[in-house]
Amino acid sequence: MYVRVVAATVAAALGTAAALLSPGSDARAGEHGVPTVIAHRGASAYAPENTLASIDKAAELGFSWVENDVQRTRDGELVVLHDDSLQRTTNVEDVFPGRAPWKVRDFTAAEIARLDAGSWYSPAYAGARVPTLKQYMRRVERNHEKLLLEIKNPELYPGIEQQTLKLLGNEGWLSGGHLRRLIVQSFSADSMRTVHELKPAVTTAYLGKPSVAQLHQFAGFTDLINPSYGSLSRGYVSTVHAFDGPHGRPLGVFAWTVDDAATARRAAGYGVDGVISNKPDVVRAALGSD
The residue from 82, 178, 196, 241 that is catalytic is 82
Give the C-alpha separation, 93 to 155, whole Å: 25
Nearest distance from residue 91's CB to ligand G3P, in Å?
A: 22
Contact between 118 and 91 under an 8 Å Cβ cutoff? The reply is no
Would you call 109 exposed, middle or buried from its count of C-beta atoms within 10 A (0-12, 13-18, 19+)? middle
Catalytic residue list contains 82: yes
Q: Does 223 bind Ca ion (CB under 5 A)?
A: no
The binder of 207, among Ca ion, ligand G3P, none, by C-beta within 5 to 8 A per type, is: ligand G3P
Alpha-helical regions (H) of the chain: 5-14, 52-60, 92-95, 109-113, 133-142, 160-170, 189-198, 215-218, 234-241, 261-269, 280-287
In the range 28-67, which residues lie near ligand G3P by CB under 6 A?
A: 40, 67
First to last CA, the chain: 30
Nearest-10 Cα torsion for 239, 240, 241, 245:
140
Contact between 70 and 80 under an 8 Å Cβ cutoff? The reply is yes
Q: Does 20 bind ligand G3P (CB under 6 A)?
A: no
Q: Does 69 bind Ca ion (CB under 5 A)?
A: yes
Which residue number is nearest to ligand G3P in terms of Cβ? Answer: 256
The binder of 58, among ligand G3P, Ca ion, none, by C-beta within 5 to 8 A per type, is: none
Identify which of 204, 268, 209 has the alpha carbon closest to the alpha carbon of residue 29. 268
Nearest distance from residue 67's CB to Ca ion, in Å?
A: 6
Among 150, 161, 259, 273, which residue interacts with ligand G3P (rule: CB under 6 A)?
150
Give the C-alpha separation, 283 to 101, whole Å: 36
Catalytic residue list contains 40: yes
In the range 248-277, which residues lie near ligand G3P by CB under 6 A?
A: 256, 276
The binder of 20, among ligand G3P, Ca ion, none, by C-beta within 5 to 8 A per type, is: none
Q: Does 69 bind ligand G3P (CB under 6 A)?
A: yes
Q: Select from 29-37, 147-155, 170-178, 257-265 the region that touches Ca ion (CB under 5 A).
A: 147-155
Binding site residues, ligand G3P, CB under 6 A:
40, 67, 69, 82, 150, 207, 256, 276
> What are the residue numbers of the active site?
40, 82
Binding site residues, Ca ion, CB under 5 A:
69, 150
